Amino acid sequence: MGSSSTHHNYKMFMCFNRKFKINDIQPPFDLVEAFTIYSQKGTHMNATQLHRFLVDFQAEDTTEADATRLLDDILRRRRHLSKFTRQGLTLDDFFFFLFSDDLNSPLNSQVHHDMTAPMQHYFIFTGHNSYLTGNQLSSDCSDVPIIKALQRGVRVIELDIWPNSAKDDINVLHGRTFTTPVSLIKCLKSIKEHAFAASSYPLIITLEDHLTPDLQAKVAKMVTEIFGEMLYCPECQHLEHFPSPEELKFRILLSTKPPKEYLEAKQSKDKGNASPASSGDDTQPNSTQGDSESDQDDEDSDAASDGKSGQLVAPQYKRLIAIHAGKPKNGLREALRTGLDKVKRLSLSEQALERAALNYGPDVVRFTQRNFLRIYPKGTRIRSSNYEPLVGWMHGAQMVAFNMQGYGKSLWLMQGMFRSNGGCGFVKKPDFLMKKGPNGEVFDPKAPLEVKKTLKVRAYLGDGWRLDFSKTHFDTFSPPDFYVKFRILGVPADYAKLKTKVIEDDWAPVWDQEFTFPLTVPELALLQIEVREYDMSEKDDFGGQTCLPISELKTGIRSVRLFDRKGEKLPSVRLLMRFQFS
């Protein structure tokens, strides 16, 4: 018995001991081979040779002067390793460079899409109930999640505005729930301060308006005073061609349903004795979720006219609305086919979109070529979960609204999509979504298509977990057993799932495996990468994730930084990968 116990303790000690033994990571064969070829079998790579490697192997559009600056930067970071000034990069320096994600990212960090097309030609990073700190029913309302969203590059912020208990001021809260309110003025001031923290392109505020005309007048005064010159007010109410993101840089736009125009007619007819608004659908109370589940419009106003002030202020408030929201008068399909009468934005729940996509998808695509379409989460997502965003994007919907305070793989996809175009919050739609054929035919995501491109992904190795996680985080008695999962998401034909082998007992796993993904619509495809730690008895542990837009992927050997579940960058965890297209 004693002998067995001693053996067990010895084994435990050995396992703990093993954890602290870290093998030096060796550069993979492909990297060594590239260094040998481009340094012309030398021991150092000079700026000219580095430039040739960047252009030929990495397909970078770069000059020799850029390569010289990069080489100097690498050597400056590596100087502590040498007492002498080196004339070029050693193999270790070269490996260091390729494994540094700030020097060798798989994505372009600059805005590089054409930003001069009308705003309807872009996917826009859109938040839902942007003021909620947590769940949809009982969390606090605050400006903090709004600030976080803006710092992340979100370009559409949603505020639900309601009268306060005294009916003399405006609160932001999720109506008919137990959420605690925050004042509108506080939210607007925070928006002004942080609107362009991450992007200089326009910010849209969608208002779900439940106010009386008096309070609408107060909103008009507030936004005018707070935003001043930042506020964009269109010169005419119904623009045929909406301005471009470039034209609207550093501007703030309001989008909501215009105040009820019948109040004005009623006013003149009744000589100032207007009665409360009561026109059926227009004033139906929303569901307890705040978003209307009528599938027609989630911004119905509960406004009631008090007569004189309603007549005076409605035009003033209306003038500030840059993107008019509305609902179809004769059913959704008719509206999608014929466009909306003087309306620029339509909102649909995720279920309504799915039904429309299933039954008349091309009509949805055609509608989004001229009008804005906003999709919002269904009311049962109490815990602020999210839905599949690709359905909206492949049908041209510009504003796929997400609970940014939520969680889960859908949110990773949203964050991945908007890593495109330098993270500026606007992604130019693929040309095929904006085109019509000779008989008015448009892109149909369900139509069978030929493979356009094949993506090859090679996962070489990973590192950084030992710095970002405690030594017992994954396994109490031994180093972790990591593997990588790959998912392609896009049009249905392109969906795929593959994973690497499990590398046992290694903080710096080497997989060196290649995977091939045929793609029919690479322009809409996302590559989701997730590292997990294999656990025989329980659910596999999470070890980091990222999502990369395939249309933006740089080819060659790249360093891929991973993020935590919420999308915050892990300080050290990264993968070395290679991307190739054929």
* Alpha carbon distance 496, 483 (integer Å): 17
- Sheet order of strands, 526-533 included: 496-499, 482-489, 526-533, 541-549, 556-563, 569-581, 453-463, 510-519
- The pLDDT score that the predictor gives to residue 406 is 80
Q: Please name which of 295, 300, 208, 289 lies closest in space to residue 255, comparing C-alpha atoms.
A: 208
Is-contact 161 184, C-beta < 8 A? yes
Question: Which token pair is 520?
Answer: 């029919």
Q: pLDDT per residue over 300-309, tens digit each?
A: 444 433 444 4
Domain residues for the domain of 468 are 453-581
Whether residues 413 and 561 share a domain: the answer is: no
Whether residues 466 and 403 share a domain: the answer is: no
pLDDT tier for residue 17 given thresholds of 50, 70 and 90: very low
Q: pLDDT per residue over 478-488, tens digit each?
A: 999 999 999 99
- The pLDDT score that the predictor gives to residue 84 is 53
Q: What are phi and psi of 49, to 5 degrees?
A: -70, -40
Whether residues 520 and 492 share a domain: the answer is: yes
Q: Per the domain annotation, does 10 fall within a domain?
A: no
* Alpha carbon distance 251, 202 (integer Å): 5
Q: Per the domain annotation, does 14 fall within a domain?
A: no
- The pLDDT score that the predictor gives to residue 336 is 84
The mean pLDDT of 400-427, rounded to a whole number, is: 94
Q: Where are the alpha helices (DSSP H) in 39-143?
A: 47-56, 64-78, 91-98
CATH, residue 571: 2.60.40.150
* Alpha carbon distance 531, 517 (integer Å): 19
CATH, residue 214: 3.20.20.190
More reliable by pLDDT, 400 or 566 = 400
Q: Per the domain annotation, does 421 fall within a domain?
A: yes
Worst-scoring range by mean pLDDT, 133-147, 253-267, 404-418? 253-267
Q: Per the domain annotation, does 528 fall within a domain?
A: yes
Residues 6+ apart with CB under 8 A from 538: none
Question: Which token pair is 43?
Answer: 């021991």
Q: Per the domain annotation, does 16 fall within a domain?
A: no
Whether residues 303 and 377 share a domain: the answer is: yes
Is-contact 233 320, C-beta < 8 A? yes
* Alpha carbon distance 98, 28 (integer Å): 11
Q: Per the domain annotation, does 148 fall within a domain?
A: yes
Q: Per the domain annotation, does 478 fall within a domain?
A: yes
Whether residues 418 and 489 share a domain: the answer is: no
Whether residues 477 and 533 share a domain: the answer is: yes
Catalytic residue among 51, 121, 174, 395: 174
Q: pLDDT per residue over 361-375, tens digit each?
A: 999 999 999 999 999
- The pLDDT score that the predictor gives to residue 488 is 98
Q: pLDDT per residue over 491-513, tens digit each?
A: 999 999 999 999 999 999 999 99
Q: Is a pLDDT exceeding 50 seen at residue 287?
A: no
pLDDT tier for residue 407 given thresholds of 50, 70 and 90: confident
Last residue of a domain, one of 373, 407, 434: 434
Q: Report the Cα 154 to chain-centroid distance in Å.
A: 7
pLDDT tier for residue 353 given thresholds of 50, 70 and 90: very high
pLDDT tier for residue 332 given thresholds of 50, 70 and 90: confident
Q: Please name which of 227, 318, 215, 184 lies closest in space to residue 264, comparing C-alpha atoms.
A: 318
Q: How many CA atoms lie within 13 A of 242 on its CB side?
A: 22
- The pLDDT score that the predictor gives to residue 271 is 45
Give the Cβ contact number of residue 119 at 10 Å.
25
The mean pLDDT of 17-23, rounded to a whole number, is: 44
Q: pLDDT per residue over 48-105, tens digit each?
A: 999 999 999 999 999 999 999 999 999 999 886 655 556 799 999 999 999 999 999 9
Q: Is a pLDDT exceeding 60 seen at residue 8?
A: no
Q: If you average pLDDT over each of 125-134, 294-303, 531-540, which comes out highest?
A: 125-134
Q: Is a pLDDT exceeding 90 seen at residue 294?
A: no
pLDDT tier for residue 279 given thresholds of 50, 70 and 90: very low
Whether residues 408 and 549 share a domain: the answer is: no
Pairing assessment for the beta strands 526-533 and 541-549 based on DSSP bridges: antiparallel
Whether residues 150 and 33 share a domain: the answer is: no
Whether residues 54 and 129 share a domain: the answer is: no
Catalytic residue among 51, 121, 128, 324: 128
Last residue of a domain, one of 52, 83, 98: 98
Whether residues 237 and 310 share a domain: the answer is: yes
The mean pLDDT of 145-166, rounded to a whole number, is: 96
Query: Per the structure, how many domains does the chain have?
Result: 3
Whether residues 136 and 83 share a domain: the answer is: no
Q: Per the domain annotation, does 112 fall within a domain?
A: no
- The pLDDT score that the predictor gives to residue 261 is 54
Which residue type occupies 489? L
Q: Is a pLDDT exceeding 90 seen at residue 259?
A: no
Active site residue 174: yes
- The pLDDT score that the predictor gives to residue 86 is 67
Question: Which token pair is 544?
Answer: 């980091």
Whether residues 244 and 390 share a domain: the answer is: yes
Q: Is a pLDDT exceeding 90 seen at residue 15?
A: no
DSSP 8-state class, residue 331: -
Q: What is the 3-state secondary structure (H, E, C) of 519-559?
A: ECCHHHCEEEEEEEECCCCCCCEEEEEEEEEHHHCCCEEEE
Is-contact 372 399, C-beta < 8 A? yes
Above pLDDT 70, what percent of the chain? 84
Last residue of a domain, one of 67, 83, 98: 98
- The pLDDT score that the predictor gives to residue 525 is 97
Q: Is a pLDDT exceeding 90 seen at residue 14?
A: no
CATH, residue 54: 1.10.238
